[in-house]
Amino acid sequence: MDTDLDLPDDLTRRIKVLAQLAGKSPEVLMVEMIEEYVGEMEAHRALSQGN
């Protein structure tokens, strides 16, 4: 996996395995996971602010 992030080897391996199981590239899987996480954090923030 080619990223500018300095990820621990174990995390890199786990991402590669999950990506392979999902039939996606590790980069695509990481972007999708980050998008999902950011969406969850935005929803949590909106709830905590009463919006």
Residue at 29 is within a domain: yes
Residue at 3 is within a domain: no
Residue at 1 is within a domain: no
Count of structural domains within the chain: 1
Residue at 4 is within a domain: no
Range of the domain at 39: 9-49
- Helix 26-48 vs helix 9-22: crossing angle, to nearest 10: 100
Residue at 2 is within a domain: no
Q: What is the pTM of this model?
A: 0.73
Residue at 15 is within a domain: yes
pLDDT digits (tens), the chain, 51 positions: 555 778 899 999 999 999 999 999 999 999 999 999 999 999 999 999 986
